[in-house]
Amino acid sequence: MYNFRLNFSSMAHIEPFRALRYDPTRVSIPKVVTQPYDKITPEMQDGYYAASPHNLVRVILGKEHVSDHTGENRYTRAAAFFRDWRRQGIFLQDAQPLLYLYVQRFTVPGGTAELERRGIIALGRIEDYSAGVIFRHEQTLARPKADRLELLRATRAHFGQLFMLYSDPAAEIDGLLAPVGNPDLKPPALETPDLEGNDEYGVSHRVWKISDPGLINLVKSKMRDKKLVIADGHHRYETALNYRNERRAAAGNPSRSPEAPAAPYELVMMTLVNMDSPGMVILPTHRVVHGLPSFSAAVFREGASAYFSVDEVDASVDAARAKVLLREAGRTGTALLAVTADRVFLLDRAKLVSSEIFAGWSLRQQALDVVQLHKLLLEGVLKISEEAVREQKNVRYIRDIGEAMAQVRYGAANVAFLMNPARMAQVRDIAFAGEVLPQKSTDFYPKLLTGLTVYALE
C-alpha cells in the first residue's frame, strides 16, 4: 500500500497518506468521532455508545464484559468492528496520498474571544528519543501503554493523531495554507471543508484535503529542519515505538537501513501544529487530594509556611475570583491556591529550601509551579509518596477550577490545589533539554478529535 523510504538524518520526516475516513453520506460525523481515549469518562463513553452504532468509541475504548477472556474481549471486538465497518463502506479510503489541513475554532473555557488553531495531519516517521528529532515533555505509565499496545496489535491501525508541536516563529508553514478561512484569498479547491462539525465543548473542527503535489512537497521540505515536541499522545507515541520494534524484530530487522522501504509500522499519524501560533492554549490541570484520614487545614498551613508565604483569603472565593488571584500572584513566580472545606490559602513568594528536596530536578524544572506543588506540598507537607501520586491513589486531576473547588466543599476531598498553566516556552525548553514534567502538567486545549482520519497499517 505504501512505499516510503526512510532518511535517517536528524530531521522531522513526514509523508502524505491515504487516510480512511468516515463516509459522511452514511454517518453524521459529530456522532461518530470522539475526544481522545484518555479524556473519555464513563459517562462520555455511554453517550458515545448511544450516539451512533458506528461511534469510534467501540474501537478505541470499548466496554468490558464480565465474560471477557483471551479469545473474546474489548480488543477482539474492536478489531471486528473496524473490519466490518471497512467492509461495509462506513470507512472509505482516499484514492491518493494526501496531507490534511485541520482547523479548530474555539473559545477558552470561561473566555469570550474566538481563537483559531491550524494543524497538518500527516504520517511522521517514528524515532527513538535518542535521535534528537522527537521530544517528550511528560512521563508515561506502563499500564496505559500496555492497553494501547493490545489495541494496536488487534486492529493494526492508528485512529487518533498524535498532537505534535514544531517551532516556526515566522509562520512560514502556516503561511502556505493561509488562504483557508480568508474569504478574500480562499482558492476554489479549499472552499468547502471535506469534514466539519462541532464537538461537545462547542469547538468547531474542519478538515480539508491537500492534494497538490507541489504544496505537499513544499510543506515536507519546510518540516525537514524541525524538531517535534509531543503535546498530547505520549503513551500512544511510545506504544507506536514499541510496536515498531516488535514488528522489526519479527521481520528480522532490529534496525533499518536508510535505503530500505519504510514499512507502514515505521510511521504514525500526527497533527503538526506551530507552537508559536496565537491559537496555542495550555490550561492548568488542578490537583484534588482525597483519602487522607487525618488532614487538618491548620496543620497544612503550618507545614506549607516552611516553603511559601501563606496568606488566608476569603473562604467563599469563587472560581472566577480564584483565577484572578492566581494570575496576579503568579506574575512574579510560583503561586498556588489551597482550598479546604472551609478555608482558602494563597501560597506564593517561595522560600529558599534545601537543594536535596529537588535532587535530580534542573532549575528549569524547579521553576514550574507543578514541580513546586509536587515536591514541597504533596510529598513534603502531606507525605504522599511519588509512587502514590503516579498511581493516583490520593490525587485526582481536574481541568475545571470550579469542579475542583466543589469536590472539597462538598466533602469529596481534603484539599484542592489550584494552579496557573505552564507557559509554552517552559514546555519547549524542558522538552528540548531532554527533561520531563510530572504527569498531567499540561492540558493543551482544545483536544484533537479521534476518528477524523484513520491510518490503517494493512
187: which 3 cell numbers?
482558492
Q: In this predicted structure, what is the pLDDT of residue 25?
A: 95
Say whether pLDDT at 255 is over 90.
Answer: no
User: CA 96 to CA 209: how far, in whole Å?
Assistant: 11
User: CA 98 to CA 425: how far, in whole Å?
Assistant: 32
Q: Residues 205-216, buried b or exposed e (16+ Cβ, 10 A)? A: bbbbbbbeeeeb
367/257: higher pLDDT: 367
Say whether pLDDT at 189 is over 60.
Answer: no
What does DSSP say about strands 91-93 and 20-22: parallel, antiparallel, or unpaired?
A: antiparallel
Q: Which of 10-14, 306-310, 395-399 has the lowest mean pLDDT?
A: 10-14
Q: In this predicted structure, what is the pLDDT of residue 188?
A: 41
| Model pLDDT for residues 9-35, shown as the tens digit of each residue | 468 999 999 999 999 999 999 999 999
Contact 338, 416 (CB under 8 A): yes
Q: Domains in the chain, please, with CATH?
A: 4-281+446-456 (no CATH), 285-420 (3.30.1760)
Look at the alpha carbons of 419, 322, 277, 101 in this order and tell me if their dihedral is positive or negative: positive
User: CA 262 to CA 267: how far, in whole Å?
Assistant: 8
Confidence band (pLDDT; 50, 70, 90) for 187? Answer: very low
Whole-structure pTM value? 0.90
Say whether pLDDT at 135 is over 90.
Answer: yes
User: In whole numbers, what is the pLDDT of the chain averaged over residues?
Assistant: 91
State the Cα torsion 282-287-288-290 to the nearest 10°. Answer: 150
Contact 274, 130 (CB under 8 A): no
Say whether pLDDT at 430 is over 90.
Answer: yes
252/35: higher pLDDT: 35
Q: In this predicted structure, what is the pLDDT of residue 10?
A: 67
Residue 135, CB-side half-sphere exposure with 13 Å CA sphere:
23
**Three-state secondary structure readout of the chain:** CCCEECCCCCCCCEECECCEEECCCCCCHHHHCECCHHHCCHHHHHHHHHHCCCCCHHHHCCCCCCCCECCECHHHHHHHHHHHHHHHCCEEECCCCEEEEEEEEEECCCCCCEEEEEEEEEEEECCCHHHCCEECCECCCHHHHHHHHHHHHHHCEECCCEEEEECCCCCHHHHHCCCCCCCCCCCHHHCCCCEEEECCCCCEEEEEEECCHHHHHHHHHHHCCCCEEEEECHHHHHHHHHHHHHHHHHCCCCCCCCCCEECHHHEEEEEEEECCCCCCEEECCEEEECCCCCCCHHHHHHHHCCCCEEEEECCCCCHHHHHHHHHHHHHHCCEEEEECCCCEEEEECCCCCCHHHHCCCCHHHHCCHHHHHHHHHHHHHCCCCHHHHHCCCCEEEECCHHHHHHHHHCCCCCEEEEECCCCHHHHHHHHHCCCCECCCCCEEECCCCECCCEEECC
Contact 399, 283 (CB under 8 A): yes
Confidence band (pLDDT; 50, 70, 90) for 310? Answer: very high
Angle, CA 319 vertex, CA 317 and CA 321 arms, to 5°: 60
Confidence band (pLDDT; 50, 70, 90) for 2? Answer: very low
Contact 162, 236 (CB under 8 A): yes
Say whether pLDDT at 151 is over 50.
Answer: yes
- Mean pLDDT to the nearest integer, 248-255: 84
